[in-house]
Amino acid sequence: MSLQCGIVGLPNVGKSTLFNAISTGKAEAANYPFCTIEPNVGVVTVPDERLDVLTKLVNPQKVIPTIIEFVDIAGLVKGASQGAGLGNKFLANIREVDAIVHVVRCFADDNVVHVEGRVDPVFDKEIIDAELQLKDLESIEKKIQKTEKGARAGDAKAKAELEWLKKYKSTLEEGKNARAVEIDPETRESVIGDLQLLTAKPVLYVANVDEGSMLTGNEYSEKLREAVKHEGADVIVLCAAIESQISEIEDPEEHEMFLSEYGLAESGLSKLIKASYALLNLITYFTAGVKEVRAWTIVKGWKAPQAAGVIHSDFEKGFIRAEVIKIADYEQYKTEPAVKEAGKMAVEGKEYVVADGDIMHFRFNV
């Protein structure tokens, strides 16, 4: 599965520095607005200790982790919804991603220009929100005009959709994001699925702090956390400049030493990547054999045939059953034969909902 998180924020908040640190791509980081014009796409492996456990137990010829894509999108300024700065390009790029990683500046530094002239994370967040809301409002109003024609003609479906569209309109006009509307997923897809509303996308906030605030955060990050708590959104606190240094260390022992010096159990980037993966409602299952140990990405709630289809469509079409081992049992008994002998391998059918961390072997017939 190829799913993307778009890294957004005002100019000079640390987006490109963060992108460089978490991805295999290289975006130019410069102390002026709009240094990122075309979106850079970086493919990132998702840190997973369970994959390390399986690798040690199986000793395969090849190990393939699961991945997620990050897109570094041009900085937004006030008035973007009317095309200011690179607004049109920015908004079009956000529309294409599955989730948003919103980087907010939570550090003071006279050497780094702030596009609004002062450091205020809540104000910065509200600028982004307002521009996205205005663009969404434009999309909603256009659809209302079309839907009203069907509603006036007596179309029951159009009438129901119109009521929901008006709820979205009033929510946006109140300065709230579209994701604040409480609606079941199926109805939401029917009503606004074609609009790709910007503020309907799930969001994760990154408080980019100074080096001294990496562990505890600071007054800026706390203000941001307070401002978004009603959204139920996660806030990751990190220092993009330090994370960029950490990411360049290739030697594992030196990497751990660097983290230890800063009092970090794991890098902020590792937390961010994991949180982004969860934000997209994704989980991982594994296949394990001497040729290959591999992590597979699926959507939480998928059943065994859907999960099998990620490997190959024939696996889903001809699905017979799935043999499932829990990773705790694999750790305890060390080998697949030992797990079977202990009666810890389950045989599951088409209705089995795959759990995060399952080790699976599919039987199929085409």
Q: At what angle do helices 268-279 and 240-247 cross, to 10 degrees?
A: 100
Structural contact between residues 305 and 351, judged by C-beta atoms closer than 8 angstroms: no
14 is in an annotated binding site: yes
Q: What's the CA dihedral at 180, 184, 190, 193 to 10 degrees?
A: 40
Cα separation of 326 and 339, whole Å?
A: 10
266-302 b/e with 16+ CB inside 10 Å = b?
Answer: ebbbbbbbbbbbbbbebbbbbbbeeeebbbbbbeeeb
Structural contact between residues 288 and 359, judged by C-beta atoms closer than 8 angstroms: yes
Structural contact between residues 94 and 198, judged by C-beta atoms closer than 8 angstroms: yes
15 is in an annotated binding site: yes
Cα separation of 105 and 124, whole Å?
A: 8
17 is in an annotated binding site: yes
Starting at the edge strand found earlier in the chain, the sheet holding 346-348 runs 63-64, 293-299, 282-288, 359-364, 319-325, 346-348
247 is in an annotated binding site: no
284 is in an annotated binding site: no
Task: Give the CA count within 13 Å in the CB-facing half-sphere of 32.
Answer: 2
* Alpha carbon distance, N-terminus to C-terminus of the chain: 23
Closest to 19 (Cα-Cα) out of 41, 45, 48, 46: 41
Closest to 91 (Cα-Cα) out of 115, 75, 114, 69: 75
Cα separation of 86 and 207, whole Å?
A: 23
Closest to 294 (Cα-Cα) out of 274, 312, 267: 312
Q: Which helix (H) or strand (E) holds 287?
A: strand 282-288
Cα separation of 335 and 122, whole Å?
A: 52
16 is in an annotated binding site: yes
Closest to 356 (Cα-Cα) out of 42, 49, 68, 60: 49
Annotated binding site for ATP: 12-17
Enumerate the known binding-site residues: 12-17
